[in-house]
């Protein structure tokens, strides 16, 4: 690969958007809301469910419970044990993905039109009545512990963990939602049952579907699929207080290439200046584009293979995060260039030419994202979670184009905080 596409350590949300899809706002007879794009040319459906909350909902002393619970959803329900469930699913050629993040539990399903009812019946059982049997609990617990063990000696994981600890104070974001070896070892079946009730509730579910299904069919499907889930779940933790000391911290770890994360305060998704900040990030370190940091750190100096920055509006914190990896004898230079570029951008802003180029790229690339049923379903559910209207797909590019040079440079001066830009370096960096 010539370019590094994505090596985010923290989940990136905040889907931007604009394209030629006809989105329907569907409410099921039972009151479940969903967005739908009908696409009847291929006989299958992509369905996305998102439950807000995720690992943030873990109770005190139960870190990792939501993660382990999510891993157990496909391990049997009713008469079906783990293997019988998987065989039933595969016999239908359906696929169900269950995933968890700090803010969200995600369920991604793909199923053929022909066997839709059976596939959804199976998924319903898994979501509403998982067995959480002891044998599966132990087996999946060991898998989670294996992952935790591996992450202890992975420089990227170490950097993410140490940085979160430093930035997020006592918020759940400060610790991995996978939990620690101790906390996961101590989890009981009751903890898993509680995590299930707390996380998978109707008051926090967002739904999108794309494919060979009508609005009426989707409504009926959703009522059956989600019947039996509790109306309400556990309360969310509330906003995090972030700390950026502006320093460079080194965590020594014997490896040839240092991994650096850097961050400063970000911006809320609904801020009126968000589009200006978004374009500013594109110019500074956005992907798919010759950003200033790619030009200065990689193209001119050969200090890295990839460097990127991301505006990350999480549910309870906003960061402007970046990442770079450089050989131990070069990472100090890379960091120095990043700090210089940060200050320069805060002081001098961007040029009209840079703004125009970024707008052309962003507005052109937006419709290209809508390139499969699965991708569209993902975008639609993300928009709902960000509280964006359906019309956003039409107005998004206009909003990008409406940003003026004056506005973006005001935002650059206000938002970029070189003194708060904080680095976490894992490796054996020379000169730091």
Positions in 366-385 near another protein (CB under 8 A) = 367-368, 370-374
Residue 369 φ/ψ region, left for φ over 0, alpha for ψ in the -120 to 50 degree band, beta for the rest? alpha
Using CA atoms, how far apart are residues 269 and 272, in angstroms rounded to an integer?
A: 9
According to DSSP, residue 57 is labeled: G
Of 248, 256, 247, 249, the closest CA to residue 427 belongs to: 256
Out of 26, 32, 122, 164, point to the residue binding another protein (CB under 8 A): 122
Q: How far is CA 54 from the centre of its chain?
A: 11
Contacting residue, 166, 326, 384, 422, with another protein by CB under 8 A: 326
Pairing relation of β-strands 104-112 and 95-100? antiparallel
Nearer to another protein by Cβ, of 241 and 351: the residue is 351
214 binds another protein (CB under 8 A): no
Give the x/- contact pattern for another protein in 14-53, rule: CB under 8 A.
-----xx------------------x-xxxx-x-------
Residues from 83 through 112 that contact another protein (CB under 8 A): 83-88, 90-93, 110, 112
Which DSSP symbol is given to 293? Answer: H
Q: Which x/- pattern over 252-291 shows residues binding another protein (rule: CB under 8 A)?
A: xxxxxx-x----------------------------xxx-
Work out how close the CB of 409 gets to another protein at its nearest, in angstroms, rounded to a whole number. Answer: 22
Q: Which is nearer to another protein, 155 or 233 (CB)?
A: 155
What are the structure tokens assigned to 106, written together?
A: 């995600």
Rg (CA), the chain: 23
How far, CA to CA in Å, does 135 sit from each of 64, 78, 339?
18, 15, 52
CB 83 within 8 A of CB 34: no
Residue 224 contacts another protein per CB under 8 A: no
Q: Is 56 helix (H, G, I), strand (E, B) or coil?
A: helix
Please name which of 131, 129, 75 lies closest in space to residue 98, comparing C-alpha atoms: 75
Site membership for another protein, residue 299 (CB under 8 A): yes
Identify the three-state secondary structure at position 306. Answer: coil
Using CA atoms, how far apart are residues 388 and 23, in angstroms rounded to an integer? 13
Quote the tokens at residue 85: 């469930």
Half-sphere exposure of 220 (CA within 13 A, CB side): 7
Q: Of the candidates 352, 364, 389, 398, which one interacts with another protein according to CB under 8 A? A: 364
**Binder among 325, 337, 403, 411 for another protein (CB under 8 A):** 325
Instruction: Tell me how far, at minimum, the Cβ of 1 lies from another protein, in Å.
Output: 5
In the complex, the smallest distance separating the C-beta of residue 427 from another protein, rounded to whole angstroms, is 9
Minimum CB–partner distance for residue 2 and another protein (Å) = 5
The DSSP secondary-structure symbol of 130 reads B
Which residues sit opposite 48 in a β-bridge?
108, 208
Residue in 220, 249, 336, 363 binding another protein, rule: CB under 8 A: 363
Range 134-153, binding another protein (CB under 8 A)? 139, 142-143, 145-146, 149-150, 152-153
Residue 304 sits in the site that holds another protein (CB under 8 A): yes
Q: Under 8 Å CB-to-CB from 176, ≥6 apart: which residues?
A: 63, 148, 151, 161, 164
Tell me the closest approach of the beta carbon of residue 320 to another protein, in angstroms: 22
Under 8 Å between Cβ of 172 and 138 = no
- 202 near 34, Cβ under 8 Å? no
Does position 327 bind another protein by CB under 8 A?
yes
Nearer to another protein, 115 or 180 (CB): 115
| Residue 121 touching another protein (CB under 8 A) | yes
Burial class of residue 35 in the structure, from the number of CB atoms within 10 Å of its CB (0-12 exposed, 13-18 middle, 19+ buried): buried
Of 377, 375, 391, 393, whose CA–CA distance to 37 is shortest? Answer: 377
The number of residues that bind another protein (CB under 8 A) is 83
Q: Nearer Cβ to another protein, position 146 or 352?
A: 146
Within residues 386-425, the interface with another protein by CB under 8 A covers none
**181 lies in the binding site for another protein (CB under 8 A):** no
- Closer CB to another protein, 15 or 236, in the complex: 15
CB of 117 to another protein, least distance (A): 9
Judged by beta carbon, residue 27 or residue 143, the one nearer another protein is: 143
Residue of 407, 416, 406, 397 lying closest to 293 (CA atoms): 416
The residue (of 28 and 323) whose beta carbon lies closer to another protein is 323
Among 54, 64, 130, 155, binds another protein (CB under 8 A): 155
Site string for another protein, 191-210 (x = CB under 8 A): --------------------
């Amino acid at each position: 690969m010539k370019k590094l596409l994505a090596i985010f350590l923290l989940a990136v949300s905040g889907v931007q958007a604009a394209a030629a899809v006809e989105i329907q706002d569907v409410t099921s007879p039972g009151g479940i809301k969903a967005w739908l794009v009908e696409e009847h040319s291929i006989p299958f459906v992509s369905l996305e469910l998102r439950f807000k909350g995720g690992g943030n909902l873990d109770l005190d002393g139960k870190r990792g419970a939501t993660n382990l619970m999510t891993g157990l959803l496909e391990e049997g329900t009713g008469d079906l044990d783990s293997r019988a469930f998987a065989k039933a699913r595969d016999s239908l050629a359906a696929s169900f993905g269950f995933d968890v993040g700090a803010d969200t539990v995600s369920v991604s399903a793909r199923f053929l039109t022909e066997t839709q009812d059976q596939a959804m019946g199976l998924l319903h059982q898994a979501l509403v009545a998982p067995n959480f049997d002891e044998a599966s609990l132990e087996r999946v617990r060991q898998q989670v512990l294996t992952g935790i063990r591996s992450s202890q000696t992975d420089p990227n994981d170490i950097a993410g963990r140490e940085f979160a600890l430093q930035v997020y104070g006592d918020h759940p974001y400060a610790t991995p939602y996978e939990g620690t070896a101790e906390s996961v070892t101590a989890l009981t079946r009751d903890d898993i049952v509680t995590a299930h009730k707390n996380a998978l509730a109707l008051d926090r579910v967002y739904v999108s579907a794309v494919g060979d299904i009508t609005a009426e069919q989707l409504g009926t499907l959703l009522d059956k699929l989600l019947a039996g889930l509790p109306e309400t779940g556990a309360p969310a933790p509330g906003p995090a207080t972030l700390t950026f000391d502006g320093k460079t911290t080194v965590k020594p770890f014997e490896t040839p290439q240092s991994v650096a994360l850097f961050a400063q305060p970000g911006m809320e998704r609904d801020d009126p200046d968000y589009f200006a900040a978004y374009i500013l990030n594109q110019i500074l370190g956005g992907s798919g584009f010759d950003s200033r940091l790619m030009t200065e750190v990689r193209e001119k100096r050969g200090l890295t293979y990839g460097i990127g920055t991301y505006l990350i509006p999480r549910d309870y914190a906003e960061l402007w995060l970046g990442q770079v990896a450089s050989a131990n004898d070069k990472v100090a230079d890379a960091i120095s260039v990043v700090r210089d570029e940060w200050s320069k951008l805060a002081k001098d802003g961007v040029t009209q030419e840079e703004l125009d180029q970024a707008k052309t790229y962003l507005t052109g690339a937006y419709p290209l994202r809508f390139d499969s049923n699965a991708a569209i379903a993902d975008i639609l559910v993300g928009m709902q979670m960000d509280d964006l209207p359906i019309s956003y797909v039409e107005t998004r590019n206009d909003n990008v184009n409406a940003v003026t040079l004056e506005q973006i440079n005001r935002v650059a001066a206000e938002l970029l905080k070189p003194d708060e830009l904080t680095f976490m370096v894992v490796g054996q960096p020379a000169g730091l």
